[in-house]
Structures are given as structure tokens and as C-alpha cells.
């Protein structure tokens, strides 16, 4: 398999957006030649990846032409990646071939700059941006990724995929839940130590989980980004080459070569005003580093004071009796909003008093949850992302929990 080359220029006819069914498991490797052409800007159409067996989002007009401003003869739109649609109708990020090449090159320089072939292990769905990038980065590296067997993510499948690798520098991308499962498995933890870098993203990675991984010798790297930035563009708080963060009205904005050219069918969308992408996240910028505090609409105001859910989640992760935790705010007649800890418990569930005491000491008294919601599992949207809207609805419907 050869790496990507520069595209040959196409004339300027209107290019359509064609659906690309993405299979699960090793069959996804059949798409590599098509993705190589897309990365080179050498396809007469753009790709709309979606899970095989499911229809692509109709809101993205699959099969329809790319409109003015959605494409460029100099840098063709390669793929249109659907967002999770957590706030309503899904949007499609228009990713130029040049942005994807810039992202892949910057990632390679940051994660594995030494000699020897880089080889990726695909453990995520490839129709989402993080999984798709594993394939595109493999194309750029000129190596074939190893794909976990179909049938769902397991520690055993990850161990087998790692054993099948032949590259000098192994790389993979996980969500926090997957990392938790691998760290609970001795052979999988040993496999993780073979990697040059283990990216962990999609959802916020609790600090205690990172500490546990690093103490086990796993070269874990936190990643922040979105479909609109070709996936991860901030690693361990440091932006990739060319990525410029800033704050505007309390929100993090990002500029640079990895930013999408806009949304499908939504010209002049304010999120891309001024050539920057305005995220929905709050952050702190200091000494060239980015610290994400959470989504603007996830911030909780209780008793007139602000609470960042991520800080409370960090405090509770690793607490005895807590396997997973997400913190949300729900309306409360006395406090405006009350802080709710949504917990997947361990063998001995924690009490609300224990949870409050932990947060009071680690964060602040006003941040201590006033409700504890115990769940068998967390509802998810997309790969590894907790569905906070569903959790808020559950907590509001069961205030006595």
C-alpha cells in the first residue's frame, strides 16, 4: 500500500456528495483505495461516510451537488462528516483534502516523529471522525491498519489486533470507556505498553484514569477536537502545528489548516465566522496550553455559583464504589439548578453523603451533588460520548434518587 500523493486537478464541474457505506470489522480495509484518492483530492465527488446498513442523514442531502462555497477546484472537499446531532438536526462538516492532509501530517509529527513505519490499530467505528482518521492517517503513512474483529470491542480482540501488528511504531485511538476496560485486563494492559501513543478522546478523560494508565506504563495522550477540526487538534493540551486557539465571549475558537470550510447546506453559519471555528466549549488558555472546562450549555449554576461538571467528575472518578460518572444540572426550585451525579456503581454503591463529602473537599461545597442517580449503564451518543440530555431528563424525572 502506498502513501497519498498530490491530486491531479479536476475541471470545475459541480461535484456531488455520494454516500459511502462503512462496514464494521476488517471489511473496512476495502475502502482504503477510495480514501486514498479522497485524501489526494482525486475523486470527482465527495464522500459522506455512514454506518453500513443504515441510511445517511437525509438533512445532508446525500446524492445532491455540492453548493457554491462547499467545494473548491484548488482544494476539493474530500469528505463530509456528520456531527452527532446532539442538539438537533445533524450537521455535516465539509472537510477539504488539504485539511485532512494537514491533520495527518501534524499528528504524525507530534505522536511518532522517530524512525520506523507507523501502524495504526482501528478500535473505533470508522464512519465517525476519530475512526475515519485512523484510516486516513494510515493512508498517509503508507501502511495498512489492523482492525479489531467484528462483534464489539473486547480486551481479547484488542490484544489479538496488537499481536498482528508489524509496524515499528504502533498507534491507536480509544474512548475513555475502552481504556477503562483494557486497564482491567492484564494482557491488554501489557499490549497497550507496546504503543508509541494511545490517543484517548471523544469524551473528557478523567484525571484519575489518566494517572492510572500512566502509572501502568501506557503512553496515553488526551485529544481534543471535533468533526469540524478533522478530529483531534489539541494533544495533551498543546495545539497541533498551525492550530491557533483563542477565546471569544467565553467560548474556545480554533483556526488553522485543519478547520472545515463550513457546514453542508448551511452557508455563512456563524460557527465559522472570520475563518475560525467557534466551539461550544469553555476553556482556559495559559502558557500555550488549552484546558477544556466543558460545554457552555453543560455549566451548572447552583445557588448563583458556577460549577464545571468536568471538575466534579474528576473528583469522583476512582472513588470506591464508582465505576463511571457523569455530572449534570437539572432545574431546582430552591437552587436554580441542582448538581446531579449520575453513577454506574461498583459492587458497593456509594451513598450521596460520601459523594458530597468527596466533592466538597476536592472542589468546593457548592459543587457537591444534591442528587445521586444510580444506573446500570450510561446512555451514549456517538462513540463514547455520554448523552447528557438523556441523563438530565432521567434525573429530573426521578428527583428522589
Same domain? 285 vs 308: no
Same domain? 51 vs 138: yes
Domain that holds residue 132: 17-292
Same domain? 346 vs 381: yes
Residue 253's beta-bridge partner residues?
246, 278
CATH number, domain with residue 30: 3.40.50.12780
CB 17 within 8 A of CB 45: yes
Same domain? 308 vs 168: no
Same domain? 324 vs 284: no
**2 found inside a domain:** no
Cα separation, 174 vs 179, in Å, equals 7
Cα separation, 209 vs 271, in Å, equals 32
Same domain? 270 vs 309: no
Same domain? 246 vs 111: yes
Give CA angle at 149 (148, 155), nearest 5°: 65
Same domain? 190 vs 258: yes
Last residue of a domain, one of 271, 292, 313: 292
**1 found inside a domain:** no
Same domain? 127 vs 191: yes
Same domain? 288 vs 303: no
Cα separation, 365 vs 359, in Å, equals 7
Angle between helices 32-39 and 97-111 (to 10 degrees): 100
| Cβ atoms < 10 Å from Cβ of 217 | 10
Return the exposure string of 372-394: e unless at least 16 CB atoms fall within 10 Å of the residue's CB, then b: bbebeebbbebbbbbbbebbbeb
**328 found inside a domain:** yes
Number of domains in the chain: 2
**6 found inside a domain:** no
Last residue of a domain, one of 228, 261, 292: 292
Cα separation, 237 vs 224, in Å, equals 8
CATH number, domain with residue 379: 3.30.300.30
Same domain? 366 vs 307: yes
Helices (H), 18-115: 32-39, 97-111
**312 found inside a domain:** yes
pLDDT per residue rounded down to tens, the chain (401 residues):
445 555 555 445 689 999 999 999 999 999 999 999 999 999 999 999 999 999 998 999 999 999 989 999 999 999 999 986 445 578 999 999 999 999 999 999 999 887 778 999 999 999 999 999 999 999 999 999 999 988 789 999 999 999 999 999 999 999 888 998 899 999 999 999 999 999 998 777 777 788 899 999 999 999 999 999 999 999 999 999 999 999 998 899 999 999 999 999 999 999 999 889 999 998 889 998 998 888 888 889 898 888 888 889 888 987 889 988 999 999 988 888 999 999 999 899 999 999 999 999 999 999 999 999 999 999 987 666 788 889 999 999 988 77
Is pTM beyond 0.75? Reply is yes
Same domain? 343 vs 285: no
Amino acid at each position: 500500500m502506498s502513501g497519498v500523493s498530490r491530486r491531479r486537478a479536476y475541471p470545475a464541474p459541480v461535484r456531488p456528495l455520494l454516500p459511502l457505506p462503512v462496514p464494521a470489522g476488517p471489511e473496512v480495509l476495502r475502502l482504503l483505495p477510495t480514501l486514498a484518492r479522497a485524501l489526494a483530492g482525486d475523486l470527482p465527488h465527495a464522500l459522506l461516510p455512514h454506518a453500513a446498513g443504515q441510511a445517511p442523514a437525509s438533512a445532508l442531502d446525500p446524492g445532491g451537488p455540492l453548493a457554491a462555497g462547499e467545494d473548491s477546484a484548488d482544494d476539493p472537499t474530500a469528505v463530509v462528516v456528520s456531527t452527532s446531532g446532539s442538539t438537533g438536526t445533524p450537521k455535516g462538516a465539509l472537510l477539504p483534502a488539504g485539511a485532512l492532509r494537514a491533520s495527518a501530517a501534524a499528528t504524525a509529527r507530534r505522536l511518532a516523529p522517530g524512525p520506523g513505519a507507523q501502524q495504526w490499530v482501528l478500535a473505533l467505528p470508522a464512519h465517525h471522525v476519530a475512526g475515519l482518521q485512523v484510516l486516513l492517517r494510515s493512508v498517509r503513512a503508507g501502511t495498512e491498519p489492523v482492525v479489531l474483529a467484528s462483534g464489539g470491542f473486547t480486551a481479547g480482540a484488542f490484544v489479538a489486533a496488537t499481536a498482528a501488528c508489524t509496524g515499528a511504531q504502533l498507534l491507536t485511538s480509544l474512548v475513555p470507556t475502552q481504556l477503562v476496560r483494557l486497564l482491567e485486563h492484564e494482557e491488554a494492559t501489557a499490549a497497550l505498553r507496546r504503543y508509541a501513543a494511545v490517543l484517548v478522546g471523544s469524551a473528557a478523560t478523567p484525571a484519575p484514569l489518566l494517572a492510572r494508565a500512566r502509572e501502568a506504563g501506557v503512553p496515553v495522550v488526551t485529544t481534543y477536537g471535533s468533526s469540524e477540526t478533522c478530529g483531534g487538534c489539541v494533544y495533551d493540551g498543546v495545539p497541533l502545528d498551525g492550530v491557533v486557539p483563542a477565546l471569544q465571549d467565553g467560548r474556545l475558537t480554533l483556526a488553522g489548516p485543519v478547520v472545515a470550510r463550513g457546514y453542508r447546506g448551511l452557508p455563512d453559519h456563524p460557527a465559522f465566522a472570520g475563518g475560525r471555528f467557534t466551539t461550544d466549549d469553555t476553556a482556559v488558555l495559559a502558557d500555550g496550553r488549552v484546558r477544556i472546562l466543558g460545554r457552555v450549555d453543560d455549566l451548572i449554576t447552583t445557588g448563583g455559583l458556577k460549577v464545571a461538571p468536568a471538575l466534579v467528575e474528576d473528583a469522583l472518578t476512582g472513588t470506591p464504589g464508582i465505576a463511571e460518572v457523569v455530572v449534570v444540572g437539572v432545574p431546582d426550585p430552591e437552587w436554580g439548578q441542582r448538581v446531579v451525579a449520575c453513577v454506574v456503581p461498583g459492587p458497593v454503591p456509594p451513598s450521596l453523603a460520601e459523594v458530597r463529602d468527596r466533592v466538597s473537599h476536592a472542589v468546593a461545597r457548592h459543587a457537591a451533588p444534591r442528587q445521586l442517580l444510580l444506573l446500570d449503564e450510561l446512555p451514549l451518543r456517538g462513540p463514547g460520548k455520554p448523552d447528557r440530555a438523556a441523563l438530565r431528563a432521567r434525573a429530573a424525572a426521578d428527583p428522589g434518587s
